[in-house]
Amino acid sequence: MRQNIYRILAICCLALTAQLAKSADTPPRKAGEVVIESLSLTTPDTGKVAYELGTLYVPENRVDPKSRLIGVGFARFKAAKATAPPTFHLPGGPGSSLLPSFKQDNPLLGRALKYVNLYGRAGDVVFVDQRGFSERGDVLRFRHRTKAEPLEQPGSLTRATESYTEMARAAVADYAKKSIDLRGYTVKECADDVNDLRKSLGYEQITLVGTSFGSQWSFAIMRLHPKIVARALLSGIEPLDMGYDMPSHIFAAIQRSWWEAEKDPKLKPYIPPGGLMQAAREVMQRLERSPVQVTVNAKDPKTGEKLKVTLGREDCQRDGFFRGPAFLLSVYHEHYDEWAATVMNNRRAHDMDVRLIGPLIDTSLGVTPKRKFMLRNDPATEFLGQWNFDAYLATTGIWPSPDVGDEFRTEIVSRIPVVFTQGDWDVQTPVENVLNIAPFFPNSRVLIAEHGGHGVLGPIAQNLPDVMAKLQEFIETGNMTNIPPRVKLPIPKFAAPDFPPPEKK
């Protein structure tokens, strides 16, 4: 017995010695340090493409001198001959990464490398991860089991916000047990990460390319580190005080799509005399007068009876107007089955992974008091409610990331050259965002893409190569004089309701 114990102790000592030796080979990282691997990717169209996959080490919370270091991933594709500042590409979200695009088993790798080639003609191309959502560092997630919502009652924003608040408290409590400082996850820290990466890679200036939150991240960089930005090409514009979109601006984008939908021969037989707007009004008035109870093709496991789902005005506000004209016309003509089945599934308890970087950054950014007043009192809440922002406003004091302050959120004049590209059908970052922010950038150009949705650089490159060439000229030289103020993208195809058109009275 004693010999066995000695043998076990000897094995443990050998294992510990090996571990210590391994640790000795890996010195502790320093803030600003980068570790880079040289790799390559191959596709039939591009052949072998060399690139670098790296990790930048930064303080988790720069305000705390004892903060731990975290990793932020990046990928760099070096240009054969650099004649312009490198482009730094910033993903949206918060809670997105562009790095998975550059994996050999990615079926869309060829498209990703064409994107690299497009921007790499004049300079290096660098893709930067968000802290807290990087495989090269930490991915902050919270596994959450939602509560089942009652089927016999219509949907409720108040109930949904209460559930979200409960989840937020649970997530913060869970992370309080870990050696992770959630106070460090703000857009300001993300901006400083980009500046640290720029310095570590040896660049004096950079060009920013960002869509959605990537554009908001870019605004933060231009605000905190203006001298490092040579220029910026942004789309899906989200200024610092516009993280929560104005309902009337979103609804205006929806109405612009309705203008084209009403001309569609497939939809015309279903549209009432007053058009889609009249259909929307009647649906909302009907649901306000009396919620609708729908029997669905699913049974109660206890009684064996078919389940019934109650649909109300707030259910429609939540997502009804984002689902296209066919959905609106189906509900107008009292075809509720598909909608009821979707709502039933959404109200069931289910597991979900919450990407914490989203609420941490968004609630830290928040909005100015003036913007908050306008959001709460916007006239289009009649149709869209306050689903877009109510839960975040309710949990601002729960998430630990500190408020960035009204001074930071408020616009200032910047002379950095910027090209804003924006779709006028964008319901995530509406076109009014860019119309509000562009006057603060006197050296800017606004390109509005008619019929364009959220993030139009890809559709422009695909459908309007001549226009994309002019945007590329701006990336290479800073010249924006040839960029048109407005272009047209193809009108997306509209689906029709899945039932025969009603007979005309």
Are the CB atoms for 3 and 11 separated by under 8 Å? no
pLDDT by residue (tens digit) across 326-337?
Answer: 999 999 999 999
Under a CB-based contact definition with an 8 Å cutoff, are residues 115 and 233 in contact? no
Query: What is the spatial distance between Cα 356 and Cα 393, in angstroms, rounded to a whole number?
Result: 16
Cβ atoms within 10 Å of 400's Cβ, excluding its own: 17
pLDDT value, residue 28: 84
CA–chain centroid gap for 461, Å, is 21
- For the chain, which residues make up each domain, given as ranges? 34-140+180-235, 141-179+350-404, 271-348
CB 173 within 8 A of CB 67: no
pLDDT digits (tens, 9 = 90+) for 300-322: 888 888 899 999 999 999 999 99
Cα torsion for 76, 81, 87, 91, to the nearest 10°?
-40
Superfamily of domain 34-140+180-235: Alpha/Beta hydrolase fold, catalytic domain (3.40.50.1820)
In angstroms, the CA 357 to CA 469 distance is: 35
What pTM value is reported for the model?
0.93
Residues with Cβ within 8 Å of 294's Cβ and at least 6 positions away in sequence, in order, are: 308, 309, 310, 311, 336, 337, 339, 340
Distance CA 240, CA 187 (A): 9
Q: How many residues make up the chain in this entry?
A: 505
Please write the tens of the pLDDT for every residue from 225-251: 999 999 999 999 999 999 999 999 999
Q: Kindly give the parts of the chain with pLDDT less than 50.
A: 1-24
CA gap 178, 259 in Å, rounded: 52
Tokens (6 digits) for 426: 């964008």
What are the tokens at 255?
């109405």
| Strand-by-strand arrangement of the 34-43 sheet | 34-43, 47-59, 69-77, 125-128, 87-90, 206-211, 229-235, 418-423, 444-450, 486-488
Our measurement of the distance from residue 85's CA atom to the centroid of its chain's CA atoms, rounded to an integer in Å, reads: 26
